[in-house]
A and B are shown apart, each in its own frame.
Chain A
Amino acid sequence: MFSYTFKRLLQAILVMVVVAFVSFSLFNFVGDPVNSMTGEDASDQRRDEVREVLGLNDPVYIQFSRFLGNVVQGDFGISYQLKREVSDLVAERMPATLELVFVSALLAIILGVILGVYTGIHRDSFISNIILVISLAGVSLPTFIIGIMLIYFFSVILGVLPSFGRGEVTDLGFWTTGLLTNSGLKALILPSITLSLFQMTYVIRLVRAEMMEILQTDYIKFAKARGIKTNIINYKHALKNGLIPVITITGINIGTLIAFSIITETVFQWPGMGALFINAVYFVDIPIMSAYMIMVAFIFVLINFIVDITYYFIDPRIRLKEEKG
């Protein structure tokens, strides 16, 4: 157990260091940090001062370790374009994105599992076919077109749901939430559906395939032969094993959701990190870009790490493999 965890942890740290180095190189070697701090027409003396203050005369490895130290403390420097601390900007935007991703993940997993189990058990029923056709559309339509279609239908034609923003938010001091007000919840509906649709279809397909496979196995046949009720076989014996891959998917899910939230946030003008990042890319705002890169990488690595560890407890085969050496 210990060596397994340690190995995974080492891998995770390695990935993080590589990502940090890439974003450090962005800072130092792309463009001129002195120029972006002082402006093009500063005197040579002033430039040298800034160079000294920023520590650009030190060897690269000292600069890099200083950069790492800052990042660990959450200090990503000052945005070139907005002239504010990147950490403040991110702290402002983070709740919006995480709330959206959280609700979407929940939606994708719960609905995905329910629909997947249904279509797996009632294979050829009419409703299953409808669900599968809709899920095919979810895979092949680009996210932003789904968003636009939803806006057109629910906001323009019916006029029942808002098409942009978070609605009224409650400030909890460290966190702003839209989950406590009516308008906040309403504003969340369309973006979270848009974001979750793609993932939901994945979960549906996965659970369906898994259920269909399990229902063919010997132990299910044996359970049938013993005369156990179909419902108990389906939901107690089969579903338990069918849910294992959902754990992995959930992990990858959340990472993908964060990436795709960039698109959803743009379509719905959601004031989250994705919108901040797109702006940064557009204006070549390197501090924000590298902060986003490091944070997303961190979330990805963390999730993968948790999934790996969870697998260790769930799947005895991995444990055996490790113990053998």
Chain B
Amino acid sequence: MLFKKINKIYDTDIGYSFFNSKIAIISSTIFLIICLCSVFAGIVAPYNPFDPATVSLMDAFTPPMWSEGGSSSFILGTDQQGRDMFSTMIYGSRISLIVGFSSIIFAMVLGVFLGVTAGYIGGMYEIVVMRLTDVQLTIPSILMALLVYGIARSIISQSMHDEMVMYVLIFAIGISEWPQFARVSRASTLVEKNKEYVSASRIIGLSNILIMFKHILPNILRPILVIATIGLALAIITESTLSFLGVGVPPTTPSLGTLIRFGNNFLFSGEWWITFFPAIFLIVLALSINLLGDWMRDALNPKLKKR
């Protein structure tokens, strides 16, 4: 049964391209492992870094297992509060991934909605939406995210900050990335709009909303998927950057960026591992998604491959 399914996937052009690309296989495996680890953090991680009972300050600044003074109970050493680095990183990647995925989904829904409607309806509405994307694309996404974050923070009352911070982050990063989706989905919609199946749907009297989202949307999913993959890496990096700058998730539930920020304070006193491992982890995570996105762009868009 399973074999049959794999064979079926292998027979499609995308499946073929996937199983013949070493980079695609390796990067997707790494990404999958990281995702699984963070989903099952409770099982994978040897300690729960947020449970004060298991954390002892006596263990603080233990170097990694293989270096002098290291202990085999903490594979990658411990941080300034005595938390096991390996466990903290796994739990941290969970937050990075949640924020990354949520914000990219938010950006995708917003961007694709505006893009498809702009392409389909046209007129003044299209001009306004496209001008908006033009203006926003000149502003770097990190700056946009910071501005939205700052504005959102000033609207929300002080006492609510820590509870709302995740949603604010997702909103800020999502807002900073929607124009890409809007551009691509508008361009594809313009192409699809003039095809026969759309005319046919119109003739039989389907509503515009149905035509846009049931008939056109499935046909333009490929380029959107590519943007979403590359955007996910960008969203994760943006989140960790914001957290590194100290305006991201609160230190009680650290993401990878927050861990790097803390570790950075101990670089000079020789505790390199507190910042080194989360940094490597983040790089590997972002790189694996980026490489996967690169492969996808080539596989889903044969036109680009030839160039």
Question: What CA separation (Å) do A30 and B272 show in the bound complex?
Answer: 42
* Chain A residues closer than 8 Å to B287, beta-carbon distance: 140
Question: What CA separation (Å) do A140 and B233 show in the bound complex?
Answer: 9
Q: Is the CB of A278 within 8 A of B140?
A: no
Chain A 288-321, CB-CB to B under 8 Å as 1, else 0, gives 0100010010001000100000000000000000
Q: Which of A145, A293, A296 contacts B279 (CB 8 A)?
A: A145
Chain B 268-280, CB-CB to A under 8 Å as 1, else 0, gives 1000100100010
Chain A 145-173, CB-CB to B under 8 Å as 1, else 0, gives 10011011001100000010000000000
The answer to whether A282 has its CB under 8 Å from any CB of chain B is yes
Task: Determine chain B's interface SS by DSSP, over half rule.
Answer: helix
Q: Is the CB of B247 within 8 A of A282?
A: yes
Question: What CA separation (Å) do A289 and B138 show in the bound complex?
Answer: 19
Residue of B nearest to A163 (CB): B268
* Chain A residues closer than 8 Å to B283, beta-carbon distance: 140-142, 145
Which stretch (A68-76, A90-98, A257-265) binds chain B? Answer: A257-265
* Chain A residues closer than 8 Å to B140, beta-carbon distance: 255-256, 259-260
The answer to whether B155 has its CB under 8 Å from any CB of chain A is yes
The answer to whether A34 has its CB under 8 Å from any CB of chain B is no
Q: Is the CB of B246 within 8 A of A262?
A: no
* Chain B residues closer than 8 Å to A155, beta-carbon distance: 268
Q: Which of A144, A156, A163, A281 contacts B247 (CB 8 A)?
A: A281
Q: Which of B138, B244, B267 contacts A266 (CB 8 A)?
A: B244
Question: What CA separation (Å) do A210 and B210 show in the bound complex?
Answer: 44
* Chain A residues closer than 8 Å to B245, beta-carbon distance: 144, 262-263, 266, 278
The answer to whether A201 has its CB under 8 Å from any CB of chain B is no
Q: Is the CB of A281 within 8 A of B146?
A: yes
A251 vs chain B, min Cβ distance (A): 9
Residue of A nearest to B238 (CB): A142
Chain B 253-292, CB-CB to A under 8 Å as 1, else 0, gives 0000000100010011000100100010011001100100
* Chain A residues closer than 8 Å to B150, beta-carbon distance: 280-281, 284, 289
Q: Which of A156, A163, A281, A296 has the most CB of B within 10 A?
A: A281
Question: What CA separation (Å) do A252 and B260 show in the bound complex?
Answer: 29
* Chain A residues closer than 8 Å to B246, beta-carbon distance: 266, 278, 282
Q: Which of B146, B240, B279 contacts A262 (CB 8 A)?
A: B146
Question: What CA separation (Å) do A140 and B135 show in the bound complex?
Answer: 25
Q: Is the CB of A26 within 8 A of B241?
A: no
The answer to whether B153 has its CB under 8 Å from any CB of chain A is yes
Q: Is the CB of A260 within 8 A of B286?
A: no
* Chain B residues closer than 8 Å to A260, beta-carbon distance: 140, 142
Q: Is the CB of A140 within 8 A of B286?
A: yes
The answer to whether B139 has its CB under 8 Å from any CB of chain A is yes
Q: Is the CB of B290 within 8 A of A304?
A: no
The answer to whether A110 has its CB under 8 Å from any CB of chain B is no
Q: Is the CB of A142 within 8 A of B139?
A: no
Q: Is the CB of B143 within 8 A of A145?
A: no
Q: Is the CB of B154 within 8 A of A26?
A: yes
Q: Which of A143, A144, A286 contacts B260 (CB 8 A)?
A: A144
Q: Is the CB of B241 within 8 A of A144?
A: yes
The answer to whether B149 has its CB under 8 Å from any CB of chain A is yes
The answer to whether B237 has its CB under 8 Å from any CB of chain A is yes
Question: What CA separation (Å) do A284 and B287 show in the bound complex?
Answer: 34
Question: What CA separation (Å) do A73 and B171 show in the bound complex?
Answer: 34
* Chain B residues closer than 8 Å to A223, beta-carbon distance: none
Q: Is the CB of B138 within 8 A of A156?
A: no
The answer to whether A54 has its CB under 8 Å from any CB of chain B is no
Q: Is the CB of A151 within 8 A of B241?
A: no
Question: What CA separation (Å) do A129 and B135 show in the bound complex?
Answer: 36
The answer to whether B44 has its CB under 8 Å from any CB of chain A is no
Q: Is the CB of A300 within 8 A of B268?
A: no
Q: Is the CB of B151 within 8 A of A30?
A: yes
The answer to whether A15 has its CB under 8 Å from any CB of chain B is yes
Q: Is the CB of A140 within 8 A of B290?
A: yes
Q: Is the CB of B154 within 8 A of A289?
A: yes
Question: What CA separation (Å) do A280 and B245 show in the bound complex?
Answer: 12
Question: What CA separation (Å) do A41 and B12 show in the bound complex?
Answer: 70
Q: Is the CB of B282 within 8 A of A142?
A: yes
The answer to whether B147 has its CB under 8 Å from any CB of chain A is yes
A263 vs chain B, min Cβ distance (A): 6
* Chain B residues closer than 8 Å to A245, beta-carbon distance: none
B1 vs chain A, min Cβ distance (A): 39
Q: Is the CB of B138 within 8 A of A262?
A: no
Question: What CA separation (Å) do A26 and B154 show in the bound complex?
Answer: 8
Question: What CA separation (Å) do A187 and B7 show in the bound complex?
Answer: 59
* Chain A residues closer than 8 Å to B147, beta-carbon distance: 289, 293
- Using A30-B154, A30-B155, A263-B241 as known contacts, say yes or no to A281 and B138 having CB atoms under 8 A apart: no
Could you jot down 8 A-B contacts, CB within 8 Å? Answer: A141-B283, A145-B260, A148-B260, A148-B279, A151-B267, A156-B267, A281-B153, A284-B158
Give the A-binding residues of B (Cβ under 8 A): 135, 138-140, 142-143, 146-147, 149-151, 153-155, 158, 237, 240-241, 244-247, 260, 264, 267-268, 272, 275, 279, 282-283, 286-287, 290
Beyond A262-B245, A304-B138, list 15 extra A-B contacts (CB 8 Å).
Answer: A142-B237, A142-B282, A143-B241, A144-B241, A144-B244, A145-B260, A152-B272, A262-B143, A263-B142, A263-B244, A267-B264, A278-B146, A280-B150, A281-B146, A284-B154
The 7 residue pairs across chains A and B that have the minimum distance between CB atoms:
A259-B143, A281-B150, A259-B140, A284-B154, A30-B154, A142-B237, A144-B244
